[in-house]
Amino acid sequence: MRRQRGTRRHVESSAIASLAPLVAVVPVWLLAIAVFWLPVHLVWDVSYLWFAFAYLAAGVLLFLRPFQRYVLAPLLGARRPTAEEHALLQPAWRPVLQFNELPPNRYVLAVLPSNELNAFACGGHLVVVTTFALDTLPRDELSGVLAHELSHHLGLHVVALTISQWLSIPALVLARIGFFLQNVASAATSSFVQHSSSMTALGRLVAALLTAVSWVFLSGLIASTVLSNAVGRNAEFQADARAVSMGFGRPLAMALRRVLAEFGSDRPTTWRDKLAASHPPARTRVARIDAQLRARRPAGDVSSA
């Protein structure tokens, strides 16, 4: 079968838009790396630029299949499929690979123990499916979900977002350390220096400074997360459209309807929920998929493959 236009790997608009959260996290990453570099510089004569470049270069590992299989997947809480899970995954995964003329070892499949009906793509080749999805979805619907996740990789949606998450780690670590030390300073002030107004004021000043520093790092992470969620919602629509072009639109829509039946509406009701939502509502996705299916010729859907 010749691969159709739209099923090849190419840069989609969501991949370009995902550079925005990457740009947002770079300033706090540079600041956080400087904090980690200072004690290292006292021991080894390494420049800040080389130290920052070494950390950035280490992010390349996130896109290597062995690293994704043995390090990244476990960090995400996922694991290799058991024999039973492999027997469920492969019949659903095979037609997706065959349609796109991809070899079986190109992507890494992992299973996340979870009661959520979910799957996600990460790094350059990792596709993670929850145990609930494996136990709940029929083979054709599982194929639709896997086609959607493969579409994220083919559209290069997760490349910049994966790098953003890698750069976020130092700032997140420092923010957590800062809030921890702020709690320690507040507790010490309340417990040991209440008798001294000057020491109490100093303790409160230290706690306030630690809180402010922590929020400097956290603010950049929040901005990057909000942008990532906005980009992610459009990426979901593009991945759905690509899955439809592959011929797996109808089973994908059926899987989304199953999500609605199992868990109810996921439409955000407040502005905070809307900012925190990384996916568009399932009902909206189903409506768009149905519209795309109606626009296609009946013979174009190969979901029974």
State the pLDDT at residue 136.
92
Can you tell me which residue has the tokens 């996130």? 62
3: its two tokens: 């691969």
Position 104 confidence tier, pLDDT thresholds 50, 70, 90: confident
Say which residue, 200 or 76, is predicted with more confidence.
76
State the pLDDT at residue 233.
85
State the pLDDT at residue 305.
37
| CA gap 127, 90 in Å, rounded | 13
Query: Residue 5 class from Cβ within 10 Å (0-12 exposed, 13-18 middle, 19+ buried)?
Result: exposed
Say which residue, 278 or 99, is predicted with more confidence.
99
Model pLDDT for residues 225-270, shown as the tens digit of each residue: 888 888 888 899 999 999 999 999 999 999 999 988 887 666 655 5
State the pLDDT at residue 300.
45
| CA gap 107, 154 in Å, rounded | 11
State the pLDDT at residue 33.
93
Strands 126-130 and 108-112: what pairing? parallel
Say which residue, 230 or 126, is predicted with more confidence.
126
* Helix 197-246, helix 19-43: angle, nearest 10: 130
**Cα–chain center distance at 168:** 12
Model pLDDT for residues 208-227, shown as the tens digit of each residue: 666 777 777 778 888 888 88
Q: Is pLDDT above 60 for 157?
A: yes
| CA gap 236, 300 in Å, rounded | 21
Position 203 confidence tier, pLDDT thresholds 50, 70, 90: low
State the pLDDT at residue 1.
40
Task: Say whether 273 sits in a helix, a strand or coil.
Answer: helix
Which residues lie across from 120 on neighbouring strands? 128
pTM of the predicted structure, to 2 decimals: 0.81
- Please answer whether residues 67 and 61 qualify as being in contact, where contact means their C-beta atoms are separated by less than 8 angstroms: yes
